[in-house]
Amino acid sequence: MFKVLVSDPISDFGLQQLTRAEDVEVAKITGLSEEELISVIHSYDALLVRSQTKVTKRIIEAGVRLQVIGRAGVGVDNIDLDAATSRGIVVVNAPDGNTVTTCEHTFAMMMSLARHIPQAYTKTVAGQWDRKSFLGVELRNKTLGVLGLGRIGIEVAKLAAAFGMTLIGYDPFLSEERAEKLGIKLATVDTIIRTADFITVHTPLTDETHHMIARQQFDVMKRGMRIINCARGGIIDESALVEALDEGIVAGAAFDVFEHEPPAPDHPFLRHPKIIVTPHLGASTLEAQENVAVDVSEQVIHILREEPFKNAVNMPTVPSDLLNQLQPWFTLCEQLGRSLVQMTDGAIREVTVECAGELADLDTSPLIPYVLKGILSHHLSTEQVNIVNAIHLAKLRDIHLTVRKSLFTESASCEITLRLKTTIEERWVTGTLLPGVGGRLVRIGPYPVVLPFEGYVLLISQQDMPGTIGRVGTLLGDSGINIATMQVGRNEIGGSAVMILKIDKKASRNVMESLLAIPEIKRVREISFDERGEEGGAQP
Ligand SMILES: NC(=O)C1=CN([C@@H]2O[C@H](COP(=O)(O)OP(=O)(O)OC[C@H]3O[C@@H](n4cnc5c(N)ncnc54)[C@H](O)[C@@H]3O)[C@@H](O)[C@H]2O)C=CC1
Ligand SMILES: O=C(O)CCC(=O)C(=O)O
């Protein structure tokens, strides 16, 4: 039974997929402090939050069972992504469900700003009939500058176009063609700041967007402009804005978000006559809250059940058609990694995945986490390695990763060769998927084999001498170990040779040492294809 903790108010209707699932138990406990959350999180497999819960490193470290953190919304700045990634916890969000709602809130703020609606309301209900203080401006024919043209920014631009506004915008990822279709003139941030009558920001808060609009930008702004932030506090410098309002550069500002939420009671925005504020309500509609809860519940359940999922924030997104083509190869990659690491000595420095056949024409970089999972889980007994943290763990260990087309392939069929370069040697194995059969190891270094990834294999390197093979067979037989298959190879008569034996049961350390005591034998490796890859190696 999977246990899911919902620690923020999230739509009950939207959570139904989880609450109705037979294999899921949902606990809704909101308003927990960090300490309280730390004391309970150890029993949960998933944590679902909105924006109130700050999912800190301490909480993540205490979540020993956590597999997934779901964010019912877009921004994940309340979750310590690095801590989640290094623990191998998937973070998923629900990026599409609140786009329209937040766009509409932005528009409500812009219109309220243009017509002083909150200020006029306050005076009117207080009994003052003041019409002259609230002379507004029209939106039609005004220039709207949109910084950040992603989901919400584009929706805002579409609504603004319907209001007859001229659109100017900046987003590093929006093409000229798309912008033109949307009627948006692309410009630099500097041009937008100098020319727009209204500016609205719709970027995430990043190092680059932090204080994207600050004193320097206010200094060159069109006098009398108005500014809106329904994205994230900190994109606009709050103190610089108050100065610009007081100096008459900015005529009004509308903010749904703050650098620190909730703002302190003496925050200057809360008393300023030209600033209107809402308490981070951008996504607060019935529809949006249901949408995001439905979306995130669906992904969480997929992750818990180990089914394909989308919207992972701390893993690269793989387009679904590519995912369909690569998915059959994921297990093989993990098996190749687990096998090869048992054949190799020294600290791993380089991992190379070479793809042959039609596979080579695809973007095969999504295979890397699976290969690494196989390799790293052999060594890291205490850390949990999974496909979320595999690349992160490899990078921490300065392991260089490469994916490339196979340079040498004897067949045009799809094959994956995995190479490991360590501080002392380089070894490689090749695997493929045989139709109707499954994954097979088809080469160990240059030696052709056909081995399923199950049971035990002995790899023996020896001097090519008459009688050696017989001595190995006798020794294994005397130890009660049956040989299922055997392959031998050599580079020249009397030169270096190998034996690859599939055996029916694990060879003990004593057997390995006895094998190594045969004078012609230089190296013996036992490869276990079990989950943990338990190994019995013996080497001079
Ligand atoms: N007030 C609220 O309740 C809500 C706030 N949000 C916030 O709104 C923001 C936008 O959300 P979405 O449109 O869904 O995200 P999105 O990811 O679809 O769009 C963000 C866009 O910002 C662009 N961007 C990044 N750096 C930039 C830069 N330096 N200059 C210009 N553009 C840049 C990106 O290329 C992207 O196109 C996010 O910060 C999100 O957290 C979202 C929903 C509700
Ligand atoms: O959960 C909320 O209401 C906050 C929404 C938000 O800011 C987001 O989705 O990024």
CA distance 24 to 45: 10
CB-based contacts of 84, cutoff 8 Å, min separation 6: 55, 60, 69, 90, 91, 314, 388
Options 138, 176, 180, 261, the catalytic residue = 261
Length of the chain: 540
Q: Please state, in angstroms and as integers, the Cα–Cα distance from residue 320 to each residue in 142, 235, 314, 473, following that order.
A: 42, 33, 17, 50
Flag whether pLDDT at 244 surpasses 90: yes
Q: What is the pLDDT of residue 386?
A: 84
Mean residue pLDDT across the chain: 92
What residues have CB less than 8 Å from 31, skipping those under 6 apart?
Answer: none
Strand stretches in 22-125, DSSP E: 24-28, 46-49, 68-71, 90-93
Residue ranges of E strands in 435-518: 438-444, 447-452, 456-463, 483-490, 496-503
Residue 480 contacts residue 509 (beta carbons within 8 Å): no
Tokens 């497999």: give the residue: 45
- Kindly state the tokens that stand for 487: 């392959």
Q: In what order do the strands lie in the sheet with 456-463?
A: 483-490, 496-503, 456-463, 521-528, 536-538
Q: What is the DSSP letter of 348?
A: E
Pocket test for ligand 2, best of 77, 98, 311 (most atoms within 8 A of CB): 98
Pairing label, strands 184-186, 400-405: unpaired
Model confidence at 494, pLDDT cuts 50, 70, 90, reads confident
**Rounded distance between C-alpha atoms, residue 291 and residue 73, angstroms:** 9
Give me the percent of the chain exceeding a pLDDT of 90. 79
Catalytic residue flag (residue 280): yes
Predicted confidence at residue 20, as pLDDT, reads 97
Contact 155, 98 (CB under 8 A): no
Predicted pLDDT at 264? 98
Catalytic residue among 105, 116, 202, 280: 280
Pocket test for ligand 2, best of 10, 51, 291 (most atoms within 8 A of CB): 51
Task: Provide residues with CB under 6 Å of ligand 2.
Answer: 50-51, 73-75, 98, 280, 282-284
Question: Looking at the CA of 148, which ligand is closest?
Answer: 1
Which residue's CA is the closest to the ligand 2 atom numbered 1?
50
Q: Locate the ligand 1 atom nearest the alpha carbon of residue 283 and give its number.
A: 3
Q: What's the pLDDT band for 310 if we cut at 50, 70, 90?
A: confident
Q: What percentage of the chain carries pLDDT values higher than 70?
A: 96
Q: Classify the C-alpha dihedral 355-358-359-360 as positive or negative.
A: positive
Tell me the three state secondary structure of residue 363.
Answer: coil
For 252-264, the pLDDT digits (tens) are 999 999 999 999 9
A 10 A CB-CB count for 484 gives 12
Q: Is 349's C-beta closer than 6 angstroms to any atom of ligand 1?
A: no
Atom from ligand 2 closest to the CA of residue 8 = 1
Lowest-confidence region among 9-13, 290-294, 382-386: 382-386
Are residues 289 and 14 in contact, defined by beta-carbon separation less than 8 angstroms? yes
In the structure, what pLDDT confidence band is assigned to residue 407 with cuts at 50, 70 and 90? low
Tell me: pLDDT of 102 over 60.
yes
Torsion sign across C-alpha atoms 215, 216, 219, 220:
negative
**What was the pLDDT predicted at 382?**
40
ipTM over the 0.95 cut-off: yes
Atom of ligand 1 nearest to the CA of 152: 13
Calculate how far, in angstroms, residue 231's C-alpha sits from the geometric centre of ligand 1: 6
Say whether pLDDT at 383 is over 70.
no
For ligand 1, atom 10: residue with the closest CA: 202
pLDDT digits (tens, 9 = 90+) for 264-289: 999 999 999 999 999 999 999 999 99
pLDDT at 539 over 50: no
CA of 99, closest atom in ligand 1:
14
Whole-angstrom Cα distance, residue 106 to residue 281?
10
- 3-state SS class at 255: strand
- Taking the centre of ligand 1 as the mean of its atom positions, its distance from the CA of residue 504, in whole angstroms, is 58
From the CA of 292, the nearest ligand is: 2
Which structure tokens are listed for 94? 């629900």
Q: Which domains does the chain have, with CATH numbers?
A: 2-96+287-304 (3.40.50.720), 99-277 (3.40.50.720), 315-451 (3.30.1330.90), 454-532 (3.30.70.260)
pLDDT at 176 over 80: yes
Ligand 2 center from residue 100 Cα (angstroms): 13
Chain centroid to CA 367: how far?
15
- Ligand 2 site-directed mutation target among 280, 295, 311, most atoms within 8 Å of CB: 280
Q: Phi and psi for 53 in degrees, rounded to 5?
A: -70, 125
């818990």: which residue's tokens?
Answer: 304
Candidates 1, 28, 29; CA nearest to 15 is: 28
With beta carbons less than 8 A apart as the criterion, state whether 390 and 94 touch.
no
- Measured in Å, residue 106 CA sits from the centre of ligand 1 at 13
Instruction: For residue 232, indicate whether it is catalytic.
Output: yes
Give CA–CA dist 374/333, Å, rounded.
8
Distance 10 CA to ligand 2 centre (A): 11
Enclosing H/E stretch for 85: helix 81-86
Mean pLDDT, range 84-113, rounded to an integer: 96
Q: How do residues 385-401 score in pLDDT, each as one tens digit? A: 888 889 988 988 889 99
Verify whether ligand 1 is closer than 6 Å to residue 156 (CB atom).
no
Instruction: Check residue 378 and give its pLDDT.
Output: 80
- Which of 50, 105, 202, 232 is catalytic? The answer is 232
Beta bridge mates, 91: 69
Place of tokens 């999972």: 373
* Cβ of 430 less than 6 Å from ligand 1: no
Q: How many CA atoms lie within 13 A of 278 on its CB side?
A: 21
